[in-house]
Structures are given as C-alpha cells and as structure tokens.
Amino acid sequence: MSREDFMRQAIDLSGERMRAGLGGPFGAVIVKDGKVIAEGSNQVTSTSDPTAHAEVVAIRAACKVLDSFSLEGCEIYTSCEPCPMCLSAIYWARLDRIFYANGREDAAAIGFDDDHIYQEIPKALELREIPTERLLAGEAWLVFAEWQEKTDKIMY
C-alpha cells in the first residue's frame, strides 16, 4: 500500500465513525513495516473521554498489538494535523513520522480550534488561564528519589 492509501484509510475511518455517531470527524492509522497495525477514531463524545482523540486511540491500540510502550519503527497517518495533546502522545510513543491531511486551520474552521492551547503552552505558569499551584514538592521528591535508586525500573 502507498502513503496515499494509508491516508485514505484514515480519512475513510474519520467519516465512517463520525457518521456512526462515535465522535468528531477524525481518524488515524498506525503503520509498521508497510501494514496497518492499529486504527483509531475520535470517541470523545461516545466515551465521555476528552482524551479519546483518534491519534491517542490508535496509539493505545498499537501499543497493545506490539505489547510495548514504544512505537519506534511506526508511522501515523491522521486525517487532521494533531492537536497539542496528540502531538505530545506521538512524541511519547516515539513514532517515526507523522502524515496528516487537514490542517489545524481547517479544524478551526469547523469549530475545533486548538490555538488557545498552543498559546497557553509557552506561557509562564502564573500567566496561564487555569491557575496552577505547587504543593508538597518535598514529599513528592521522596518518591522521585526512591525511583532514582530503584534497580528494576524500566525507563521510558
């Protein structure tokens, strides 16, 4: 299959699942060695989960298929440019490459505007819209120190 075929599959998935009432018009497939190993569609409204974006759903499915938290060697094809949350998940999962169809401006034009989040990220904590306050850092550091000394930890 070609890159265009994989993208068509993500786009088709976005429409099929949207028409089925599962969520917004977003689909994604993850490919390894020229084969689709997982797919995902937006399920925010059908699962009442604001993190159930197509890319995150696909990442979760691919990790189960590969029994790994790392998706190195995989590519993601998504019907829309990933939002900040999905982009972060893609980086955490270590996908090799991102292909997308609609851009963030296209998503904004139909009511999915992530620009506010993009604007919030670089702000100092005290300037962000959602108040953020640090509590019990010393107590929390004790657990970090324990992790640092743990001999059987699995780094990710």
21 vs 67: CA distance, rounded Å: 30
Give per-residue pLDDT as tens, 81-105. Answer: 999 999 999 999 999 999 999 999 9
Provide the pLDDT for residue 21: 97
56 vs 90: CA distance, rounded Å: 8
Percent of the chain scored above 90 by pLDDT? 96
Q: What is the pTM of this model?
A: 0.93
55 part of the active site: yes
What distance, in Å, lies between the first and last C-alpha atoms of the chain? 31
The closest of 80, 19, 89 to 52, measured between CA atoms, is: 89
* 16, 55, 72, 149: the active-site residue: 55
Residue in the structure block whose two tokens are 């499915």? 61
Give per-residue pLDDT as tens, 44-78. Answer: 999 999 999 999 999 999 999 999 999 999 999 99
Nearest-10 Cα torsion for 80, 83, 85, 87: 70
User: What mean pLDDT is predicted for residues 126-137?
Assistant: 95
